[in-house]
Amino acid sequence: MRWIWIDRFLEFESGKRAVAIKNVSLAEEHLHDHFPGRPVMPNSLITEGIAQTGGLLVGEYHSFAKKVVLAKLPKAVFHFPVIPGDTLRYETTVDYIKDDGAMVTAVSKVGDRVQAELEVVFAHLSDDDRTKNLFEPKNFVFTLKLLGVFDVGRRADGSRLTEPPGLLKLEEELKAAGT
Amino acid sequence: MPSQNEVFEKVQSVLCEALGVDEDEVTPEATLVGDLGAESIDFLDIVFRLEKAFDIKISRGELFPEDVLTSTDYVANGKVTETGIAELRKRMPFVNLDKFASNPNVKDFGTLLTVQDMVRFVETKLPK
């Protein structure tokens, strides 16, 4: 199972900003427990979706050569609860991308209403023994494809962001390596 | 060049944003790790906010000389050697290392840095 909490990218400007949407539906089982009789999209999962939007933005900038992990939320303010039928729009903007980490500022909106405001700091893990087998960042190229980034994405120079060549070969290699 | 007070106020607001602490906790004597609860990842955040607030560039390791503290050239048996202390003094003239030098346990280094040290550090980076 893949832990994906966004449905599709609407905008993707390499190294700068990305916009993704998340449709909230009663078909999602977790809403039946959170809370019984009063379904509310958990803000923790909204945070996860925003971190995925921003994390893929940062990871793509490094061509997924670095392990990008959520490290810190300096700010997370939520204004109202999100319910089934709402479409969340996560707008993320890069504040900085450095060698050892990155930060994005994000807002989550339902229609024109600002539902949440976040700052998300990502760390870039070094490839030491402890983290070597944690995950294979190159796998995220497939996530980008799944989420439509190559349909809407732009490079920093404005040209179309295209699927990296040899994606099929990479998929086979990763499968063979069992990652 | 801004006055020391102006620098302090900006450093104070940077630390409030990065560490989620109240302004009155950020006194000049407060230590970042001990009193304000900063963790290693916070330094990444603090460095970025300082760069933005003061329009300066801070290189990796300037505020926290990880490379010195993990190098066998400068550390032996969990303590910073004399050569190591000399290197730290050279690299971090804005920190008072006298107390640390008397019992230089590497693990205590992180608790040294005070808000006042940060102010002095920023001042060394500002155009004269």
The ipTM, to two decimals, is 0.78
DSSP A71: E
Per the DSSP assignment, residues forming a β-bridge with A11 are A19
The pLDDT value given to residue B122: 95
The pLDDT value given to residue A68: 93
In the predicted model, what is the mean pLDDT of chain A?
91
Residues A4-61 have pLDDT tens digits of 999 999 999 999 999 999 999 999 999 999 999 999 999 999 999 999 999 999 999 9
The pLDDT value given to residue A14: 96
> Within an 8 Å CB–CB cutoff, is residue A95 touching chain B?
yes
Q: What is the band of A179 on the pLDDT scale with cuts at 50, 70, 90?
A: low
Which residue's structure tokens are 């990763």?
A174
Kindly list the residues from chain B whose CB atom is less than 8 angstroms away from the CB atom of residue A121: 41, 44-45
The pLDDT value given to residue B53: 95
The pLDDT value given to residue A35: 94
CA-based diameter of chain A, in Å? Answer: 49
Give me the residue spans of the domains in chain B: 1-57+111-128, 65-109
* Domain CATH number, residue A143: 3.10.129.10
With residue A117 as reference, give the H or E element that holds it. strand A113-125
> Within an 8 Å CB–CB cutoff, is residue A121 touching chain B?
yes
Q: Give Cβ neighbours of residue B59 (< 8 Å, ≥ 6 apart).
A: none
DSSP A102: E
With residue B96 as reference, give the H or E element that holds it. none
CB contact under 8 A, A103 and B20: no
The pLDDT value given to residue A171: 75
Residue A173 lies in a domain: yes
> Within an 8 Å CB–CB cutoff, is residue A126 touching chain B?
no
Strand order in the sheet with A67-78: A67-78, A113-125, A101-110, A87-97, A17-23, A8-13, A153-154
The pLDDT value given to residue A27: 96
- Mean pLDDT for the stretch of residues B35-43: 90
The pLDDT value given to residue A81: 98
Q: How far apart are CA A27 and CA A39, in angstroms?
A: 11
CB A154 within 8 A of CB A162: no
Residue A3 lies in a domain: no
The pLDDT value given to residue A63: 87
Which residue's structure tokens are 């893990």?
A125
Total domains in the fold of chain A:
1
Q: How far apart are CA A37 and CA A175, in angstroms?
A: 42
Between A71-80, A116-125, B100-109, the lowest mean confidence (pLDDT) is in B100-109
The pLDDT value given to residue A129: 60
Q: How many CB pairs under 8 A join A and B?
A: 27
Per the DSSP assignment, residues forming a β-bridge with A21 are A8, A89
Per the DSSP assignment, residues forming a β-bridge with A77 are A117
The CATH number given to B1-57+111-128 is 1.10.1200.10
How many percent of chain B have pLDDT more than 70? 100
- Residue-number span of the structural domain to which A63 is assigned: 8-177
CB A101 within 8 A of CB A121: yes
Residue A141 lies in a domain: yes
CB A89 within 8 A of CB A125: no
Helix (H, G, I), strand (E, B) or coil at B5: helix
CA angle A77, A80, A84 (to 5 degrees): 125
How many percent of chain A have pLDDT more than 70? 95
Active centre residues of A (catalytic): 34
